[in-house]
């Protein structure tokens, strides 16, 4: 059994790898997301490499091995299923489930997880629109159709919110309050690159203006 710490390192390496050049994660970046000093990350990664869970090239970076990826996907799967379960079955708030899942993902066994999965009807996406890795095998290449960032949309575009790429409670509460949840359809009214602001309108005609960095966290499906 990998320790909670090992599971967390593998998960973070997996998540960083998704958006890393060459799928190689630097020690600095890993240390940052793990909230440890760089020396600690180096030491841990060395021991993960000895266990065959990652391949590590000093002064270059770390990447998951096949086995490491398998474990990481398991953690991510537990995390995302738990998030959805907390929202759907226990009626908890979208904005607070991330932190809860952060602890529960390490305590859910292979007996409990299938029960949760069944209760939820074998879902494919968590409340933020992040794909839930399948129990066996690799996740589907891209979740479903090519997603683009809302900040890349132009005035007149009609889009469907697919994924919120931020786990910060304040941002999620804001998004929830203004209907920026996966599944919502929006029309882009304006995207002023000079002012760095983007205005969208929802089905009820309510409009909302976002800064570029906020809009950048919202992934949409064109259509």
Under the criterion CB under 8 A, does residue 176 sit at the interface with a second copy?
no
Q: How far is CA 44 from CA 28, 101, 215, 219, in A?
A: 13, 23, 36, 33
Under the criterion CB under 8 A, does residue 108 sit at the interface with a second copy?
yes
Under the criterion CB under 7 A, does residue 38 sit at the interface with DNA?
yes
Partner interacting with residue 36 (select from a second copy, DNA, none; CB below 5-8 Å by kind): DNA
Find the part of the chain contacting DNA (CB under 7 A) among 35-43, 116-124, 177-185, 202-210.
Answer: 35-43
Q: How far is CA 200 from CA 142, 159, 185, in A?
A: 25, 10, 10
222, containing H or E segment? strand 218-222
Q: Distance between alpha carbon 108 and the CA centroid of its chain, in Å? A: 19
Q: How far is CA 13 from CA 7, 85, 86, 114, 178, in A?
A: 10, 25, 25, 25, 32
| Binding-site member from 20, 23, 26, 33 for DNA (CB under 7 A) | 26
Under the criterion CB under 7 A, does residue 39 sit at the interface with DNA?
yes
Q: Is 4 or 144 the residue whose CB approaches DNA more closely?
A: 4
Partner interacting with residue 47 (select from DNA, a second copy, none; CB below 5-8 Å by kind): DNA
Spatial contact of 158 and 185, defined as CB atoms under 8 Å apart: yes
Find the part of the chain contacting DNA (CB under 7 A) among 2-10, 94-102, 155-163, 213-221.
Answer: 2-10
């Amino acid at each position: 059994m990998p320790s909670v710490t090992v599971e967390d390192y593998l998960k973070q390496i997996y998540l960083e790898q998704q958006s890393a050049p060459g799928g190689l994660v630097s020690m600095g970046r890993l240390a940052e997301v793990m909230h440890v000093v760089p020396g600690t990350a180096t030491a841990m990664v060395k021991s993960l490499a000895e266990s065959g869970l990652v391949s590590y090239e000093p002064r270059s970076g770390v990447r998951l091995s096949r086995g490491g990826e398998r474990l990481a996907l398991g953690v991510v799967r537990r995390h995302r299923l738990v998030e959805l379960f907390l929202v759907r079955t226990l009626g908890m708030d979208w904005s607070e489930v991330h932190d809860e899942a952060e602890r529960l993902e390490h305590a859910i066994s292979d007996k409990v997880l299938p029960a949760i999965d069944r209760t939820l009807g074998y879902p494919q996406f968590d409340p933020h629109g992040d794909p839930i890795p399948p129990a066996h095998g690799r996740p589907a290449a891209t979740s479903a159709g090519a997603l683009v960032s809302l900040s890349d949309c132009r005035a007149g575009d009609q889009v469907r919110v697919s994924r919120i790429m931020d786990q910060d409670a304040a941002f999620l509460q804001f998004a929830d309050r203004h209907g920026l949840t996966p599944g919502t359809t929006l029309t882009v009214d304006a995207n002023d690159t000079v002012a760095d602001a983007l205005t969208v309108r929802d089905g009820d005609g309510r409009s909302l203006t976002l800064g570029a960095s906020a809009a950048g966290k919202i992934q949409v499906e064109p259509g």
